[in-house]
Chain A
Amino acid sequence: MAQYDRKTIEELIDGTIDFYKLKEMLSNFKDTDRFDKYISILQERVPWDDPILLPAGLHLYIVLKPDGKRVVKCDCGHEFCEASDNWKLHALIHVRDTEEKMVELYPKLLAPDPEWQVIREYYCPNCASQLEVEAVTPWYPILKDFEPDIDAFYNEWLKRPIPQVK
């Protein structure tokens, strides 16, 4: 079974990995310890100590708090909400819904018509990192990107109990 060293997984996270190495990884069965290596690298890189249960997007993690709550947390330490809630509703949102705002991104006449489509950008209120961008019709609700079943993931896929508060 394939095994990769820590450096390879770091390159994978940073996006600096060589394509041929990446292709080999993609074409193979997944290495059994990937999740653990991946999480431990992420954990090492953040400045706080709450254990990461699952990555929740670029810069975002679902972490276990000392009181047992599962919270969505940013790199910078900002805590959005509980994992069951939608973090997007707790972020700063910039909506590009006029032609002027669109031409900041696109050449003239190549942008979507804001009557039909708007661009929503989500930012961290503390560090201002861009966390998510979505191109949606103007009336579209703000939905969760995904709703992981963390308990099932640990119990049935990783086949071990979920980390608990000590």
Chain B
Amino acid sequence: MEAVTTRNAQILAIDAGGTMTDTFIIDDNGEFVVGKAQSTPEDESIGLLNSARDALTYWNTTVEEEFPKLLAGVYSGTAMLNRLVSRKGRRVGLIVNKGMEDFHRMGRAIQAYLGYSYSDRLHLNTHRYDPPLVPRELTRGVTERVDLFGNVVIPLYEHEVEPAVLDLLEQDVEAIVISLLHSYKYPQHERKIRDIAKEVMKKVGKEVPVFASVDYYPVRKESHRTNTTIIEAYAADPSRETLSKIDNMLRNHGAKFDLRVMASHGGTISTRANELARTLVSGPIGGVVGAKYLGEQLGIRNIACSDIGGTSFDMALITQGDLSINTSPDMARLVLSLPLVSMDTVGAGAGSFVRVDPNFKSLTLGPDSAGSRVGVCYPEGGIETVTVTDCHVVLGLINPDNFLGGEVKLYPERAYEALKKQVADPLGLSVEDAAYGVIDLLESQLRNYLESMILGKGYSPSQYVCFSYGGGGPLHTAGYTKGLGFEDVLVPAWAAGFSAFGCGAADFEYRYDKTLDINVNNGDEDSSKLKAGKELQDAWDELIEKVAAEFEKNNFKRQDVSFRLYFRMQYQGQLNDLEIESPIQKFKDINDWEELVKAFEETYARIYAKAAKSPELGYSITGAIVRGIVEVAKPKIPEEPLSGETPPSEAFLGQRDVYWKGEWIKANIWEMEKLKPGNKIGAFSILESPATTFVIPPGFETYLDEHRIFHLKEL
């Protein structure tokens, strides 16, 4: 233990899970401590405070000492998702078009198999519709109809609204959601219903919150829009109270910042934000946001992010410094209209189960996993099926006495026995060869996924720098990047805490979307291009207002916000549109139209091919997007002086036998924290840190740079 150290805690990142609340506190040197405590669902602030206390004991300091020094705090939690998945949200009433009362209950066919493995998607017997968030009995129809162009075909029958609202109130709904067909094109009817509903409630003295879909997600696709608005009322709005309790607790302990929440678009938003449903997801995107930030600091524009945790392998691409966004993702088996950082996830992680197919005698990995219960080598987990971690233990790749810093003791002989019985004997292999085969299979699967994700998006690995992080990432980095030809492969020394680092590094950012349908034919007059531009500018203005209003809640003035404008465009009649940052700040004249088209065609040529450009089809603008960002404190990237290529002797922990390609070899074991910038380490080496293990197999060497980032080089 060090003597007296003064710490400057800067960033607090909170991950409130169902059972444990983790806090990450990062100081001004980029060092961090992790605290854990039991979650307290009835008042999350208690568990959080305990967890922060636990973290700070590692620095011999206290919450009272450090909280006033904090510059920022970011929360992410699973309470909202749990409420949704366990169907324990509010009792919500739904008002839709008369005659369409069943559409929410019917949902979309894809919802019957969302979240399933590929084999289950093909296996129809496994498909199932979850119960709807709003049951049919709490759904009421009101007559009105707007067509897809936004023309009123049937006016709103206003006299039908009052009985519908009274009826729902009588059934004790706790919130009412309004969602009409094509309301994104003509919001007046939904807003009229909203206003009538509020009047009726005032009259009868029973007021519940009302959510009109156009006030939240004015976008196409009514199933997605309705699901998302319902989640807002059902699961997200009830979280506001929790968040304000946490905010108060932090303030009472001297914190001077506004608590922010990680949101699906890759930024953080205020706890008072209008659209809170987008904070539903947060975990896996933290790492991608961290990679983007690290990339900005190091001047890397194209990054392939890869993260191996206990249950999955998550990949994402950052291209030209920007995350790609999926505007109709799914979460909790529901199709949604939220902007979500697009990620590809496969069910292959360190905890994945390893089985031998009894019919074909082939090895299969996952898709299910032991998760935090590790594997057979960890008796407390109660797992009986072999996992990938069991293979690591048998091969000598991980130190059974130093797993998670020695907190979890692993028993290699248990892994050996189980592997022999379940895998090696049925296949007629030695236990070591079976274990090596599993790792080889896993790594070649991951390599295929990674390569096909990049190629599938029209790029090549040679254009990208690969970032590898997560507790299990660095174990396999060499294996899954081998031969792909990445420009560079980077492993931050703080790989295990990278997601939390990412949460702390996220911008304070709002992003709002609006669907548009603006068509300009090939050879149209200037007047129609100007009209199109004006419509786009009107949408941007509307969204800028929305974003500015959100920042005002946290006392940021409009001039402090940097606005970034985006549009979605496609060739008329094609299926996929592209999201493009606008080259213009305001649409003024015909040249601006040409600028927009040029930006679109450049992106189109980059993603598809130059020869695929089809201006003769004309153009459609399908959406407007505004992102607003304000400056907030972020974690510092460590910076240390370079020393020589030879690692210091105190970092050397000894040697261990490792089974690799059919033979036992001696591996050098190094303590990751004690290595110095500038050190070069060759094969066969294993770099250990409490929460991650970095393997340098034959054919590779690594170099630690001045930011404590390892560069893995294929020789």
Contact = CB atoms under 8 A, between A and B. Distances in A.
A27 B358 contact: no
B661 interface: no
Nearest to A27: B120
Interface string B115-156: 001011001011010000000000000000000000000000
A26 B128 CA distance: 13
A23 B128 contact: yes
A129 interface: no
Contact of A23 (B119, B126, B355): B126
A32 interface: yes
B357 interface: yes
Contacts of B359: 29
Nearest to B125: A26
Interface in A9-63: 19, 23, 26-27, 29-30, 32
Interface in B363-410: 368
Contacts of A29: 355, 357-359
A1 interface: yes
A27 B128 contact: no
Contacts of B125: 26
B133 to A, nearest CB: 18
Contacts, number: 22
Contacts of B117: 27
What is the interface residue range for chain A against chain B?
A: under 10
Nearest to A1: B358
A27 B357 CA distance: 13
Interface residues on B, range: 10 to 19
B563 to A, nearest CB: 47
A80 B219 CA distance: 63
A101 B202 CA distance: 56
A1 B117 CA distance: 19
A30 B123 CA distance: 14
A27 B126 CA distance: 8
Nearest to B123: A26
Nearest to B355: A29
A1 B358 CA distance: 9
A19 B128 CA distance: 9
Contacts of A23: 126, 128
A19 B368 CA distance: 17
A1 B426 CA distance: 12
A1 B354 CA distance: 11
B188 to A, nearest CB: 39
Contacts of A26: 120, 123, 125-126
A26 B126 CA distance: 7
Contacts of A1: 355, 358, 422
Contact of A32 (B119, B123, B355, B358): B358
Nearest to A23: B126
Nearest to A32: B358
Interface in B345-359: 355, 357-359
* Most chain A C-beta atoms within 10 Å of own C-beta, residue among B117, B126, B368, B422: B126
Nearest to B359: A29
B355 A27 contact: no
B308 to A, nearest CB: 22
A3 to B, nearest CB: 10
Nearest to A31: B358
A23 B127 CA distance: 9
- Max chain B C-beta neighbours (<10 A), residue from A19, A29, A30: A29
Nearest to A20: B128
Interface in B412-430: 422
A94 to B, nearest CB: 30
B427 to A, nearest CB: 14
A26 B358 CA distance: 15
Interface string A126-157: 00000000000000000000000000000000
Nearest to A24: B368
A71 B125 CA distance: 31
Contacts of B358: 1, 29-30, 32
A155 B368 CA distance: 33
Contacts of B126: 23, 26-27
A26 to B, nearest CB: 5
A84 B355 CA distance: 40
Interface string A87-116: 000000000000000000000000000000
Nearest to A26: B126
A109 B125 CA distance: 31
Contacts of A30: 358
A23 B116 CA distance: 10
A32 B123 CA distance: 20
A67 to B, nearest CB: 36
Interface in B166-215: none
B370 to A, nearest CB: 14
A156 to B, nearest CB: 13
Interface string B89-121: 000000000000000000000000000010110
A13 to B, nearest CB: 16
B425 to A, nearest CB: 13
Contacts of A32: 358
A18 to B, nearest CB: 12
A23 B358 CA distance: 19
Contacts of B368: 27
A157 to B, nearest CB: 10
A23 B125 CA distance: 8
A119 B126 CA distance: 29
A32 B355 CA distance: 14
Nearest to A25: B126
A19 B126 CA distance: 9
A23 B120 CA distance: 9
A32 B357 CA distance: 12
Contacts of B357: 29
Contacts of A19: 128
A34 to B, nearest CB: 12
Interface in B151-165: none
A27 B125 CA distance: 10
A1 B125 CA distance: 21
A27 B422 CA distance: 19
A29 B368 CA distance: 13
A32 B128 CA distance: 26
Contacts of B119: 27
A72 to B, nearest CB: 26
Most B CB within 10 A of own CB, among A19, A23, A30: A23
A15 B20 CA distance: 37
Nearest to B358: A29
A151 B430 CA distance: 36
A26 B125 CA distance: 8
B341 to A, nearest CB: 28
A143 to B, nearest CB: 24
Nearest to B128: A19
19 contacts: A1-B355, A1-B358, A1-B422, A19-B128, A23-B126, A23-B128, A26-B125, A27-B117, A27-B119, A27-B120, A27-B123, A27-B126, A27-B368, A29-B355, A29-B357, A29-B358, A29-B359, A30-B358, A32-B358
Given A27-B120, A27-B368, A29-B355, 13 more contacts: A1-B355, A1-B358, A19-B128, A23-B126, A23-B128, A26-B120, A26-B123, A26-B125, A27-B119, A27-B126, A29-B357, A29-B359, A32-B358
Counting from the closest, the 5 A-B pairs by CB-CB distance are: A26-B126, A27-B120, A23-B126, A29-B358, A26-B125
Interface of B: 117, 119-120, 123, 125-126, 128, 355, 357-359, 368, 422
